[in-house]
Amino acid sequence: MAKKATKTTKKTTKKVVKTKQSQALTYLEITKKSVAASLLIGLGNYVLLKLGMPLGPFLFAFGLLGVCVMGANLFTGKCGFLFEDKIKPLHLLTILAVNLLAGWLIGLAFSVCDASIIEAARAKVASWDISWSFLIRSILCGVIMYLAVAIYRKGSPLGIIFGIPLFIFCGFQHCIANIITLGVAATWDWSVLIAVLGNFAGSLVTWLLLPMGAKLKK
């Protein structure tokens, strides 16, 4: 009986160890793909700060196109598909946390490489505030982000090519682009959390109103 109990204990221990190792690998993969997404969006934001209007917004689209093609983890590209793709909430939170931290650091690195974008970043940050207007603009950005990714999933990049310039020209707020801008400016602004909330809400509301998931499966 003692031997059986020992064998059972060993098997249980092995299962626990394997489960923990599997979870660690999962979070490592999530982290790698989230850093990649921050870098891609960072490149798009860099050219936007560098060139400004009207060319910058169109080149920014390269960032999200890269995210979708490479399968990287971008919070604003994932949150609207939370239920459709059965994403675990903790995984989505991990993506958000890594996007924010990596995004800020990437923005800081860009400012060291090219000081000419710092003033443009500071001017943007100065225009942000915690207001209903800012929240609404964040929600509308979430709407566009969901539609852009959903259209890409249907086989067309047009949602990204036109959607990204659209939200930039309209002054809508994208939380990951904003955190990168904060990194370039080497500062912090609490409005980025409003952008997170708005992007999440806008994406989910669009998913609820437009059952793209059902259409994609057909």
Computed over every residue of the chain, the mean pLDDT equals: 89
Query: Can you give the pLDDT at residue 27?
Result: 87
Phi first, then psi, for residue 10 (nearest 5°) are: -65, -45
Task: Name the residue type at position 185.
Answer: A
- Average pLDDT in the 168-184 region? 98
CB neighbourhood size of 119 (10 A): 12
User: Residue 130 is which amino acid?
Assistant: I
- Average pLDDT value for residue range 2-21: 49
What is the C-alpha to C-alpha distance for residues 176 and 189, in angstroms, rounded to an integer? 13
> Is residue 160 left, alpha or beta, with left meaning phi > 0 and alpha meaning psi from -120 to 50?
alpha
Q: What domains are defined for the chain?
A: 27-217 (1.20.1080.10)
pLDDT band at 22 (very low <50, low <70, confident <90, very high): low
Alpha helices per DSSP H over the chain? 2-51, 55-70, 75-78, 89-113, 118-126, 132-153, 158-169, 175-185, 191-209, 212-217
Percent of the chain with pLDDT over 70: 85
Pick 69 or 21 by higher pLDDT.
Answer: 69
pLDDT of 178 reads: 98
Is 52's pLDDT higher than 50? yes
